[in-house]
Amino acid sequence: MANVLKKEKQIAIIAGLAEGMGIRQIERMTGIFRDTIMSYGLRVGQGCAELMDAKMRNLDCNRIEMDEIWGYVGKKQKHVTPDDDYSKGDVWTFCSFDPDTKIVPSYRIGKRTTETANAFVADLSSRLKNRVQLSSDALPAYGDAVERGFGSEVDYAVIVKSYEAVETSAPQRRYSAPRLVKVTKGRVAGNPNPRFVSTSGVERLNATTRHHVKRLARLTLAFSKQLENFEAAIGLHFAYYNFCKSHRSVRMTPAMAAGITNNFWSVADLVEKTI
């Protein structure tokens, strides 16, 4: 593939995908056939996942927020039949976020199950070098996962947000979020500082992720048909976010703020390091 596409075409494809463009949009802008775009995006996305795995090691993070973002592969869960492959239906991206450096140290794609939560938290724990304060929502799977992954070396609290009841019998469909009415914080392990018990940062990250990954856009036809393409798109997004995208609050990329790199990466740098 690298011998077929010119370098500027490779960069145009990855830049478009990283900024949330659809496959057919990139096809119309570049004149490159959509199957070629899909194949090249898959290759780079898989390379980005390997890059993240190699670079996100021995991190000095003091606070981590955890959350999940919903998507689907092939069809929504309500349309899945017993004959469908296990990868079809709802798929969740568990992600971690450091509110100080804005970096995403770890993520995991799978069903919203105990097994996925255990794998995600264990992977996150292996990448940190010091005791950390964790915050998450009240997903039951997190409790056991944090105990397994961190043992007693963690300060962990959950935050529960209550929303107003929504009238489900109304004929119109509701797309906006219901009004938040109550926030409750609870200690689970260690001695977490109540001031820093929050999931606001990772929830804002979820909005950024949904904006930049076309496959996560709501009410479109741009969903993934295959799980490997979904995984590649998420890998590309988080590598681009960590290494190429300057964050306004830290005025540098998250990887620079975390001391992983000393300079901004261009899309060309990202392509070169993942091919």
Query: Residue 1 pLDDT more than 60?
Result: no
The crossing angle, in degrees rounded to 10, of helices 7-18 and 23-30 is 150
Confidence class for position 13, pLDDT limits 50, 70, 90: very high
* Model pLDDT for residues 184-235, shown as the tens digit of each residue: 888 999 999 999 999 999 999 999 999 999 889 877 778 889 999 999 999 9
* Alpha helix ranges (H) inside 56-187: 114-126, 140-150
pLDDT at site 93: 96
Rounded mean pLDDT, 134-147: 94
Is residue 153 scored above 60 in pLDDT?
Answer: yes
R_g over Cα of the chain:
19
Strands, sheet with 132-136, edge to edge from the N-terminal-most edge strand: 107-110, 89-97, 63-73, 132-136, 154-163, 180-189
Q: What is the pLDDT of residues 84-132, one digit of tens each?
A: 988 999 999 999 999 999 999 999 999 999 999 999 999 999 999 999 9
For residues 101 and 198, give the distance between their C-alpha atoms in angstroms, rounded to a whole number. Answer: 15
- Tokens 């799978």, residue located: 110
**Maximum Cα–Cα distance across the chain:** 57
Domain extent listing, the chain: 7-168+175-274
Is 263 a residue whose pLDDT tops 70?
yes
**pLDDT for 170:** 58
Q: What is the pTM of this model?
A: 0.91
State the first-to-last Cα distance of the chain, in angstroms, to the nearest integer.
10
Give me the phi and psi of 199, to 5 degrees please.
Answer: -125, 15
Strand, coil or helix: what is 247?
Answer: strand
* pLDDT higher than threshold 80 for residue 241: yes
Q: Which CATH entry fits the domain spanning 7-168+175-274: 2.60.120.330, 3.20.20.100, 3.40.50.410, 3.30.420.10?
A: 3.30.420.10
Q: Which two tokens stand for residue 65?
A: 């927020």
pLDDT in tens, 20-48: 998 999 999 999 999 999 999 999 999 99
CA triplet 156, 239, 20: central angle to 5 degrees?
105
